[in-house]
């Protein structure tokens, strides 16, 4: 897949609603968004982050200033043409309910009059990319999809015409935290492949820290407070406001900079259904372990079994295990991993890959150790 | 606009305001012809609607019957009632009133569906939590019905009566086809005898009467909508009324 | 009951099948014209209202007022200007009645398109008319067709009244044949015919809606 990324420049951009002398929603904003990077606009409500993003594709027209994409002024072409070259993802997704998944994804390529064969191939490619099996999902209607599936189709749809620029407005805001973590991880993996320029809006500082190559913190009235890498912002906030916005728990926030894969994983004692209980008891004893992790044939976790529950004869069965232990992925930030484990009151989190296969374990202790000032290299 | 001058002349002519074909008499006939079936239908429809709404049984049946009823043209029911019932009525010695009676029966039949439907829909749309709270406070079934459900449902119920009232005024007009009195006489006789100013004048009177009925019930509807509930009204178009057929 | 003839004169029906068929056809034409023209006008009004919301209240008020005028009266108000026994008279009134129903449903249907869908369509590069035609109208279709159904059933009933101003339809069977000659069979045939037309239209339009909106039948899996 070709990857093309644009440079976006905002030069002294302002937006005022209402008559002259009224309040500014965005105030003399100048920003350069490098090609192939994710820049996150973040700030409290009323800071103009969404307004700024929408001025890039002219859903909102700036009052003054200039916005260029690869040097071309956005006002120099018809808005409709401009928008067909920019991918757009919003929180409620906005999938067209009367079109199938394939038809939804194909919208922009069709608007650009791609040949039908090319459209079809591209749709398949994208559905694969967002890990929705084309044969299963192609002809489904949005009403039949789950929240996470809809989000994925939304991302595929935005990528369809291979735009050099993506605008994303709280795209993962409407789903539960665990699904959000997964979707964020998937998007980061995707970005590693396609390397698009992405302008991402969120109100969640932790999401900003996790996703961004660069963060632009905006204050009320669309004033730029700081524009830097996440690490720099956490280490050297430029003002009181930034320090307060990022949060007093800046140390804790740095846990968002590192991911599970940055720490060494320990390996559990594993077992499969069908193993004789006596044998498993023995293995646990000789390893001085109290619990084993039960896996299915695809190496996916079924739950933990305690040594104490392994009395009697016979084979280990799937429902011997206590299910529901939370799982995290290599791309999950340490902060999210810690949060997930603490809220389930477990010491060990099971790390799985994108197919839910077990990779290893991570412990609360190991994460807490990184808080002790030793900086972790992301 | 010579024609409109003729119409104005008709209205000014005192002859048209006296005697058995005069406006007051015809208007009176029209009102009596409309009011009695409306009242009778209400007397029947309200209890039925209330009990269906309160107990929620037979709701599907009632809704379907009402939908089917809507597909039957007014004129059809009117003429069929006449053809079926006029002979027997004449035999009972009611020759003069036969047209009025058959028409009244047809009108009552036509007024029933919107009133029953609106009544039971109005009652069943009352928040179940309100009903439970009322029961919890120790109210009997009847008390819950009349002190909680009916007041809340009143605007919707009145919307049904409004529909029925306009329907009834329209059917009373058509009654002239089978020989009743009322304002419809001006229209039917005017058309038959090509006295078009009379036809037009009659049409104006009928239109005004229908709009008056609409406004009256609309006003009642708004008045009975408790201020507390006013905030809940969804923005936009309809005010909780079944779509009615003009007649 | 009917002057010595049997209650329902099947013979007569068979002998007059052609005539009955002709009146049915006329009835259909009057109905389709009214709903068709009404729909076109209503669409124009609805689009204008969505562009200039301030028009909504007056348009609905006017059509609502017209709607409450009994049909015979409305015909009579038009006759001196558009003629007795005139298609123009009938259609002007019939179209007016459809407008209230259709405008309301068109507006409700289009307003019912979720705002995020409109935002997504705009952001993806749909022009305004394209968006209306490809996104908003298809999504609004179920509500719109529901309105067309009601309008059609209503109009079928109103067309019967045109018999009183001299036009041919199933209504003329009811009144000019049935009532005038005190002939129940004719009235019954006319009435049943009208009901059958209304039901057929309703069923047909419902089927059409199902065919045109396969997506409306999808159910969310497991949610």
How is C128-148 classified by DSSP, letter by letter? Answer: HHHHIIIIIHHHHHHHHHHHH
In this complex, do B80 and C165 lie within 8 Å of one another by their Cβ atoms? no
pLDDT in tens, chain A (378 residues): 344 789 999 999 999 988 877 788 898 899 999 999 999 999 988 889 999 999 999 999 999 999 999 999 999 999 999 999 999 999 999 999 999 999 999 999 999 999 999 999 999 999 998 889 999 999 999 999 998 899 999 999 999 999 999 999 999 888 888 888 888 998 999 899 889 999 999 998 889 999 999 999 999 888 899 999 998 998 888 999 998 888 767 777 777 788 888 888 888 888 888 888 888 888 888 888 888 888 888 888 888 888 887 777 788 888 878 876 778 999 898 888 888 888 877 788 899 988 889 999 988 888 888 776 544 444
> Is residue B186 exposed (0-12), middle (13-18) or buried (19+ Cβ within 10 Å)?
buried
pLDDT score of B240: 35
Domain boundaries, chain A: 8-255, 261-371
Strand partners, A223: A219
**Interchain contact C80–A (C-beta under 8 A):** no
- Domains of chain B (ranges, CATH numbers): 24-225 (1.10.3720.10)
The confidence band for B235, taking pLDDT boundaries of 50, 70 and 90, is: very low
**Interchain contact A176–C (C-beta under 8 A):** no
- Please calculate the CA angle A96-A92-A258 and round it to the nearest 5 degrees: 130
Which of A176, A184, A181, A174 shows the shortest CA–CA distance to A212? A184
Distance from CA of A141 to the nearest CA of C (A): 6
Spatial neighbors of A4 by CB under 8 A, at least 6 apart, are A162, A164
In-domain check, residue C35: yes
How far is B163 from B166, CA to CA, in rounded Å? 5
**Interchain contact B206–C (C-beta under 8 A):** yes
All chains having 3 or more CB pairs closer than 8 angstroms to chain C: A, B
**Interchain contact A201–C (C-beta under 8 A):** no
Report how far apart, in Å, the C-alpha atoms of A124 and of each of A133, A147, A302, B85 are. Answer: 9, 21, 32, 71
**Two domains, one topology: A8-255 and A261-371:** no
Q: Is A293 helix (H, G, I), strand (E, B) or coil?
A: strand
Distance from CA of C139 to the nearest CA of A (A): 6
Q: Are A202 and A170 in contact (CB under 8 A)?
A: yes
Residue C45 is part of which domain span?
Answer: 10-212
Q: What is the CATH number of domain A8-255?
A: 3.40.50.300
The four Cα atoms A60, A71, C120, A113 give a dihedral, to 10 degrees, of 140
Q: Are A50 and A97 in contact (CB under 8 A)?
A: no
DSSP state of A275: S
Average pLDDT over residues B112-140: 85
How is B102-132 classified by DSSP, letter by letter? Answer: HHHHHHHHHHHHHHHHHHHHHHHTS-HHHHH
- Please calculate the CA angle A270-A276-A281 and round it to the nearest 5 degrees: 60
Question: Starting at the edge strand that comes first in sequence, how are the strands of the sheet with A291-295 ordered?
Answer: A270-271, A291-295, A301-306
Report how far apart, in Å, the C-alpha atoms of A99 and of each of B84, B119, C134 are. Answer: 55, 40, 10
Residues 167-196 of C with CB under 8 A from A: none
Buried b / exposed e over A125-151, threshold 16 CB at 10 Å, is ebbebbebebeebbebbbbbbeebbbb
Question: Starting at the edge strand that comes first in sequence, how are the strands of the sheet with A358-363 ordered?
Answer: A327-328, A348-352, A358-363
Containing A214, the helix (H) or strand (E) segment is strand A214-219
Which positions in chain B touch C58 (Cβ < 8 Å)? none
Q: Report the domain count for chain C.
A: 1
Distance from CA of B211 to the nearest CA of C (A): 6
pLDDT score of B234: 41
In-domain check, residue C85: yes
Strand partners, B12: none
How is C38-86 classified by DSSP, letter by letter? Answer: HHHHHHHHHHHHHHSGGGHHHHHHHHHHHHHS-HHHHHHHHHHHH-TT-
Spatial neighbors of A364 by CB under 8 A, at least 6 apart, are A338, A341, A342, A346, A347, A348, A349
Spatial neighbors of C64 by CB under 8 A, at least 6 apart, are C100
- For every residue of A131-166, which 3-state class applies, written as one string? CCCHHHHCCCCHHHCCHHHHHHHHHHHHHCCCCCEE
Which positions in chain C touch B76 (Cβ < 8 Å)? 160, 174, 187, 190-191, 194-195
pLDDT score of C75: 94
pLDDT score of B123: 84
Which of C195, C152, C169, C198 shows the shortest CA–CA distance to C25? C169
> Which CATH number belongs to the domain containing residue C124 in this structure?
1.10.3720.10
For B104, the token pair is 């009244």
The confidence band for B185, taking pLDDT boundaries of 50, 70 and 90, is: very high
In-domain check, residue C222: no
Question: Above 60 in pLDDT, residue B20?
Answer: yes
Q: Which long-range contacts (CB under 8 A, 24 or more apart) does C173-177 make?
A: C173/C20, C173/C23, C174/B73, C174/B75, C174/B76, C174/B79, C175/B75, C175/B79, C175/B177
Q: Are A266 and A349 in contact (CB under 8 A)?
A: no
**Interchain contact C55–B (C-beta under 8 A):** no
In this complex, do C70 and B207 lie within 8 Å of one another by their Cβ atoms? yes
How far is B177 from A241, CA to CA, in rounded Å? 83
For B239, the token pair is 């005010």
pLDDT score of A136: 93
Question: Above 80 in pLDDT, residue B55?
Answer: no
Cβ-nearest to B210 among C70, C153, C174: C70
**Interchain contact A23–C (C-beta under 8 A):** no
**Interchain contact B109–C (C-beta under 8 A):** no
Q: How far apart are the first and last CA of chain A?
A: 27
Which positions in chain C touch B74 (Cβ < 8 Å)? 157, 160-161
Residue spans of chain C under pLDDT 70: 1-6, 218-223
Q: Is A171 helix (H, G, I), strand (E, B) or coil?
A: coil
% of chain B beyond a pLDDT of 90: 32
How far is C30 from C28, CA to CA, in rounded Å? 5
Q: Is A362 helix (H, G, I), strand (E, B) or coil?
A: strand
Distance from CA of B68 to the nearest CA of C (A): 8
How far is B185 from B176, CA to CA, in rounded Å? 5
Q: Which fold has domain A261-371?
A: CBS-domain (3.10.580)
Containing A358, the helix (H) or strand (E) segment is strand A358-363
Q: What is the pTM of this model?
A: 0.81
Spatial neighbors of A33 by CB under 8 A, at least 6 apart, are A7, A8, A9, A10, A39, A197, A199, A214
Strand partners, A41: A201, A216
pLDDT score of C2: 46
Distance from CA of B247 to the nearest CA of C (A): 5
**Interchain contact C157–A (C-beta under 8 A):** no
In-domain check, residue C102: yes
Q: Which of C137, C212, C215 should be substituted to probe chain A, the one whose Cβ sees the most A Cβ atoms within 10 Å?
A: C215
């Amino acid at each position: 897949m070709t990857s093309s990324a644009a440079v976006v420049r905002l030069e002294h951009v302002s937006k005022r609603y209402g008559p002259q002398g009224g309040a500014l929603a965005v105030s003399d904003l100048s920003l350069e968004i490098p090609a192939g990077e994710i820049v996150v606009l973040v700030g409290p409500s009323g800071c103009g982050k969404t307004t700024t993003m929408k001025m890039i594709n002219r859903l909102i027209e700036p009052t003054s200033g200039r916005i260029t994409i690869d040097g071309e002024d956005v006002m120099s072409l018809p808005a409709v043409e401009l928008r067909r070259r920019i991918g757009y993802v919003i929180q409620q997704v906005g999938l067209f309910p009367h079109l199938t998944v394939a038809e939804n994804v194909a919208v922009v390529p069709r608007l650009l009059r791609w040949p039908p064969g090319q459209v079809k191939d591209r749709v398949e490619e994208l559905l694969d990319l967002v890990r929705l099996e084309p044969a299963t999902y192609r002809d489904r209607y949005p009403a039949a999809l789950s929240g996470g599936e809809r989000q994925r189709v939304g991302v595929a749809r935005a990528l369809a015409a291979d735009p050099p620029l993506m605008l994303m407005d709280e795209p993962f805001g409407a789903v539960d935290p665990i699904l959000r973590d997964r979707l964020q991880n998937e998007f980061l993996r995707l970005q590693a492949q396609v390397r698009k320029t992405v302008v991402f809006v969120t109100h969640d500082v932790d999401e900003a820290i996790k996703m961004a190559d660069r963060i632009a913190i905006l204050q009320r009235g669309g004033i730029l407070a700081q524009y830097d890498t996440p690490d720099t912002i956490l280490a050297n906030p430029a003002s009181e406001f930034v320090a307060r916005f990022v949060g007093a728990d800046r140390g804790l926030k740095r846990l968002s900079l590192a991911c599970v894969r940055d720490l060494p994983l320990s390996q559990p004692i594993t077992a499969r259904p069908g193993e004789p209980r006596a044998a498993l008891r023995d293995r646990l004893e000789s390893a001085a372990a109290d619990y084993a992790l039960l896996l299915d044939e695809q190496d996916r976790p079924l739950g933990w079994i305690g040594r104490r529950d392994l009395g009697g004869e016979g084979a280990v069965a799937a429902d011997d295990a206590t299910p529901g232990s939370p799982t995290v992925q290599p791309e999950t930030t340490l902060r999210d991993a810690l949060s997930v484990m603490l809220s389930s009151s477990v010491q060990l989190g099971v790390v799985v890959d994108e197919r839910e296969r077990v990779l290893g374990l991570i412990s609360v202790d190991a994460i807490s150790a990184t808080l002790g000032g030793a900086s972790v290299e992301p | 606009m010579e024609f409109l001058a003729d119409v104005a002349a008709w209205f000014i002519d005192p002859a048209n305001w006296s005697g058995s074909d005069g406006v007051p008499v015809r208007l009176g006939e029209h009102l009596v012809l409309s009011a009695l079936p409306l009242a009778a239908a209400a007397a029947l429809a309200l209890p039925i609607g209330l009990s269906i709404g309160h107990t929620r049984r037979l709701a599907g049946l009632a809704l379907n019957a009402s939908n089917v009823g809507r597909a039957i043209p007014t004129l059809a029911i009117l003429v069929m009632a006449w053809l079926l019932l006029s002979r027997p009525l004449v035999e009972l010695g009611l020759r003069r009133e036969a047209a009025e009676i058959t028409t009244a029966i047809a009108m009552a039949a036509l007024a029933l569906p919107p009133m029953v439907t609106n009544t039971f829909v109005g009652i069943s749309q009352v928040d179940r939590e309100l009903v439970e709270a009322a029961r919890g406070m120790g109210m009997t079934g009847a008390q819950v019905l009349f002190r909680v459900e009916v007041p809340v449902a009143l605007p919707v119920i009145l919307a049904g009566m409004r529909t029925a009232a306009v329907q009834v005024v329209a059917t009373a007009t058509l009654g002239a086809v089978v020989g009743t009195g009322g304002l419809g006489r001006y229209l039917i006789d005017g058309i038959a005898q090509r006295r078009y100013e009379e036809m037009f004048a009659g049409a104006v009177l009928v239109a005004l009467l229908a709009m008056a009925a609409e406004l009256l019930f609309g006003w009642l509807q708004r008045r009975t909508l408790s201020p507390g509930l006013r905030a809940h009204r969804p923005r936009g178009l309809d005010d909780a009324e079944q779509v009615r057929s003009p007649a | 009951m009917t002057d010595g003839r049997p209650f329902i004169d099947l013979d007569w029906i068979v002998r007059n099948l052609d005539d009955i068929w002709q009146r049915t056809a006329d009835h259909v034409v009057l109905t389709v014209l009214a709903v068709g023209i009404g729909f076109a006008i209503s669409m124009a009004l609805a689009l204008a209202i969505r562009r200039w919301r301030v028009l909504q209240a007056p348009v609905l008020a006017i059509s609502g007022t017209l709607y409450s005028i009994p049909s015979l009266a409305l015909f009579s108000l038009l006759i001196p200007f558009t003629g007795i026994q005139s298609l123009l008279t009938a259609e002007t009134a019939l179209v007016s009645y459809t407008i209230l129903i259709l405008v309301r449903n068109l507006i409700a249907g289009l307003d019912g398109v979720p705002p995020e869908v409109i935002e997504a369509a705009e952001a993806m590069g749909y022009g305004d008319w394209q968006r209306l035609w490809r996104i908003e109208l298809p999504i609004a279709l179920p509500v719109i067709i529901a309105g067309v159904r009601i309008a059609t059933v209503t109009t079928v009933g109103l067309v019967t009244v045109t018999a009183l101003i001299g036009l041919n339809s199933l209504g003329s069977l009811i009144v000019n044949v049935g009532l005038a000659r005190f002939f129940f069979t004719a009235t019954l045939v006319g009435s049943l015919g009208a009901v059958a037309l209304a039901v057929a239209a309703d069923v047909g339009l419902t089927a059409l809606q199902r065919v045109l909106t396969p997506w409306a039948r999808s159910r969310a899996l497991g949610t």
